[in-house]
């Protein structure tokens, strides 16, 4: 019953938000070129649905590849950090510094370093999605209850068994929390990549609609991007539910969305 | 009765005195001007006008702000977040068509600065034959990209003989690193920036290939013209005074710009200003004065924008510009 009421409430928040937006635009007579009303955006999105769908695909590919690359390398480095004091001490200051660095500022240079097309987009997406995976996963792996590990030692377990049976499951909630942050960053990265280095994709549509002051189309593309982002986020939540036994999930969906 | 009139006279003279005092101390009107882009020597005549006190002479306290592209500038002026703007004519026209009450009070740059830019060593002389096998960087998110489309069509270029790549915002490094052999951009920006790096740069101007278009204009909001036409007149006068003086004394304009922007690339700034000043000329300007524009040329701009599919519907161009404030 509570679950149902909350779901209804969550939908209501969206409805109220869009209604308020529609009303404000209407009452203040704001021109669509400055801020279009949601109804107008929906109209334009429908009229251009072919263009939008065609451009969603390259963006999806760039986000996915960037994200997967970030997760794979991030996870491996996190394991290194968790199991080797030398790696940890050597790389940690560098990783933290690199995380703080505004990587997006390098975007125009990526065009020169990595050429045109998919590559620069994937690299930017991977680069900004990478750090939360490393840092969160390493934290998860290193915060394992030491008594549990001692218990495994007393049973004569191998290092691999300890990793697989104790550390890895222990780190899962932190790992998934990182994935949820990473996927949103990968979206930002891919779109920034498309701003500077692409002739297709939703980021390109957003930017290109600017020259004809087509604010409605720009919003329609942003809506598409948001829907794509939410779907990718929910896919991760689904995997989290499947892989982590109930009750252990990091905050659950409500807290993180 | 006598006393009474004395009092009246006293009050009268005090009042006159007070009004006079208020008049002399009245603060200059605060007016904001949003440029098309970050400060560059293409804005030197504006810095000169400030330094020479042309705005102060008109009792204007100018708040100058850099821009983030003409499309943003026209929206800010259309929304009355800025009193005046300095932005390209195409964006003014499109903005007006989209319902923003924009009026260009002076067309400062009369010629189209878009060009095909390359290293002189690329050996491009004839655009019809010499692009074969070359990679060309196109700024897809700029109207220059659409102009290139129009040129490809009008000159019937063999588009299979060269490769086009998206190159927004990075034309010069792409050219210097040989990732591309030619690029479409403003020659006074990308062309001269390339030259400033010490590379022998060359370009073919789109104006020469038949794309005649007004470029940067001074614009304001129609509501401001209605409310305070005198201010619009004074502002336009001060602004254009800066340009006329700069045409006579380009070195002073450059100095004024460098003084206000000491960290600027001085070689690039010095290369750019004379090229920009050249763009202020046209046959119409020669006959009718700096900043003047004609219905015919605005109509022709609109026709080209519609052909390039940047503009979707026509608008009444006579409402989009005015020469009245130049007189």
Architecture per CATH, domain B28-111+213-326, reads as 3-Layer(aba) Sandwich (3.40)
> Region B217-230: what's the mean pLDDT?
97
**Which candidate, B23, B37, B28, places its Cα nearest to that of B62?**
B28
B244-259: pLDDT as tens digits: 999 999 999 999 999 9
Number of domains chain A contains: 2
Q: Are residues A121 and A15 in the same domain?
A: no
pLDDT score, position B289: 96
Confidence check: pLDDT of B3 > 50? no
Q: Are A63 and A190 in contact (CB under 8 A)?
A: yes
Q: What is the CATH number of the domain that holds A73?
A: 1.10.3720.10
Which candidate in A212, A214, A218 is best for mutational testing of the B interface (most B CBs within 10 A)?
A: A212
Domain B28-111+213-326 and domain B114-205, same fold? Reply is: yes
A119-158: pLDDT as tens digits: 889 999 999 999 999 989 998 998 888 888 888 888 888 8
Sequence-separated (6 or more) residues with CB below 8 Å from residue A200: A54, A55, A58, A194
- Measure B47 CA to nearest chain A CA, in Å: 28
Q: Are residues A15 and A133 in the same domain?
A: no
Q: Are residues A200 and A96 in the same domain?
A: yes
Contact A210 B69 (CB under 8 A): yes
Which candidate from A34, A109, A115 shows the least CB-CB separation from B79?
A: A34
Contact A111 B143 (CB under 8 A): no
> Region A8-30: what's the mean pLDDT?
95
Which residue in the block uniquely carries the two structure tokens 């006190």?
A: B53
Domain range list for chain B: 28-111+213-326, 114-205
pLDDT score, position B139: 85
Q: Are residues A131 and A9 in the same domain?
A: no
The Cβ of residue B71 has, within 10 Å, a number of other Cβ atoms equal to: 25
Size of interface A-B (CB pairs under 8 A): 75
Q: Are B128 and B155 in contact (CB under 8 A)?
A: yes
Portion of chain B with pLDDT greater than 90, in percent: 79
- Measure A70 CA to nearest chain B CA, in Å: 25
Which residues in A lie closer than 8 A to residue B100 (C-beta atoms)? 31, 33-34
With cut-offs at 50, 70 and 90, classify the pLDDT of residue B313.
Answer: very high
User: Which residues, in sequence order, are bridge partners of residue B117?
Assistant: B183, B203
- What is the value of pTM for the model shown? 0.82
Contact A212 B312 (CB under 8 A): yes
**Boundaries of domain holding A9:** 1-30
Which candidate from A34, A199, A212 shows the least CB-CB separation from B166?
A: A199
Q: Measured between alpha carbons, how far apart are the two ends of chain A, in Å?
A: 21
Q: What ipTM, to 2 d.p.? A: 0.74
Portion of chain B with pLDDT greater than 70, in percent: 91
Task: Please report how many Cα atoms fall inside a 13 Å half-sphere around the Cα of residue A23, on the Cβ side.
Answer: 6
Which candidate in B94, B135, B166, B320 is best for mutational testing of the A interface (most A CBs within 10 A)?
A: B166
Q: Are residues A70 and A84 in the same domain?
A: yes
Q: Are residues A95 and A40 in the same domain?
A: yes
Q: Are residues A215 and A243 in the same domain?
A: yes
State the pairing for strand pair B114-119/B201-205. antiparallel
Relative orientation angle of helices A49-83 and A85-100, to the nearest 10 degrees: 150
pLDDT score, position A247: 55
Which of A75-79, A124-128, A211-215, A243-247 shows the lowest mean pLDDT across its residues? A243-247
Domain B114-205: what homologous superfamily? Periplasmic binding protein-like II (3.40.190.10)
If you measure CA to CA, which chain A residue comes closest to B74?
A213
Q: Are residues A59 and A9 in the same domain?
A: no
């Amino acid at each position: 019953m509570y679950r149902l009421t909350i779901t209804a409430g969550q939908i209501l928040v969206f409805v109220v938000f869009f209604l308020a937006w529609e009303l404000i635009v209407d009452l203040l007579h704001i021109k669509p070129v400055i801020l279009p009303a949601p109804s107008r955006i929906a109209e334009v999105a429908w009229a251009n649905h072919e263009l939008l769908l065609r451009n969603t695909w390259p963006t999806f590919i760039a986000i996915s590849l960037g994200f997967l690359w970030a997760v794979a390398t991030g996870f491996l480095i996190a394991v290194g950090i968790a199991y080797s004091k030398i790696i940890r001490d050597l790389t940690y200051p560098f990783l933290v510094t690199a995380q703080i660095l505004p990587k997006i500022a390098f975007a125009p240079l990526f065009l020169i370093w990595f050429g045109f097309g998919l590559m620069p987009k994937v690299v930017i997406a991977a680069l900004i999605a990478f750090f939360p995976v490393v840092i969160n996963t390493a934290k998860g792996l290193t915060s394992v209850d030491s008594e549990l590990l001692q218990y495994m030692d007393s049973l004569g377990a191998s290092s691999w068994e300890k990793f697989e049976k104790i550390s890895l499951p222990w780190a899962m909630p932190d790992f998934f929390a990182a994935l949820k942050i990473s996927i949103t960053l990968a979206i930002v990265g891919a779109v920034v990549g498309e701003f500077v280095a692409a002739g297709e994709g939703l980021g390109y549509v957003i930017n290109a609609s600017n020259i004809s002051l087509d604010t409605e189309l720009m919003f329609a593309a942003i809506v598409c991007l948001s829907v794509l982002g939410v779907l990718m986020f929910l896919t991760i939540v689904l995997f989290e539910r499947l892989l982590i036994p109930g009750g252990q999930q990091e905050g659950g969906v409500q807290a993180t969305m | 009765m006598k006393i009474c009139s004395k009092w009246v006279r006293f009050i009268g003279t005090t009042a006159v005195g007070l009004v006079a005092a208020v008049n002399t101390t009245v603060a200059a009107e605060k007016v904001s001007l949003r440029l098309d882009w970050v400060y560059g020597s293409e804005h030197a005549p504006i810095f000169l006008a400030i330094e020479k006190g042309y705005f102060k002479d008109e009792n204007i306290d100018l708040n100058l702000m850099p821009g983030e592209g003409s499309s943003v500038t026209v929206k800010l002026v259309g929304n009355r977040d800025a009193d005046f703007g300095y932005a390209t004519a195409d964006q003014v026209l499109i903005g007006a068509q989209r319902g923003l009450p924009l009026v260009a009070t002076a067309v400062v740059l009369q010629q189209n600065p878009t060009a095909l830019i390359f290293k002189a060593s690329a050996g491009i002389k004839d655009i019809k034959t010499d692009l074969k096998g070359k990679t060309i960087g196109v700024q897809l998110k700029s109207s220059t990209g659409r102009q290139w489309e129009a040129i490809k069509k009008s000159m019937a270029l063999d588009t299979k003989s060269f490769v086009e790549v998206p190159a927004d915002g990075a034309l010069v490094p792409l050219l210097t690193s040989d990732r591309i052999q030619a690029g479409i951009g403003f020659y006074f920006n990308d062309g001269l920036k390339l030259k400033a790096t010490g590379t022998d740069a060359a370009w073919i101007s789109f104006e020469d290939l038949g794309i005649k278009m007004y470029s940067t204009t001074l614009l304001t909001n129609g509501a401001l013209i209605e409310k305070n036409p005198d201010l619009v007149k004074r502002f336009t006068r001060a602004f254009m005074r800066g340009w006329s003086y700069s045409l006579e004394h380009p070195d002073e304009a450059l100095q004024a710009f460098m003084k206000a922007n000491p960290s600027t690339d001085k070689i690039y700034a010095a290369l750019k200003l004379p090229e920009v000043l050249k763009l202020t000329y046209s046959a119409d300007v020669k006959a009718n004065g700096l900043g003047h524009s004609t219905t015919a040329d605005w109509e022709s701009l609109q026709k080209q924008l519609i052909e390039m599919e940047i503009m979707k519907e026509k608008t009444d161009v006579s409402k989009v510009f005015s020469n009245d404030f130049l007189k």
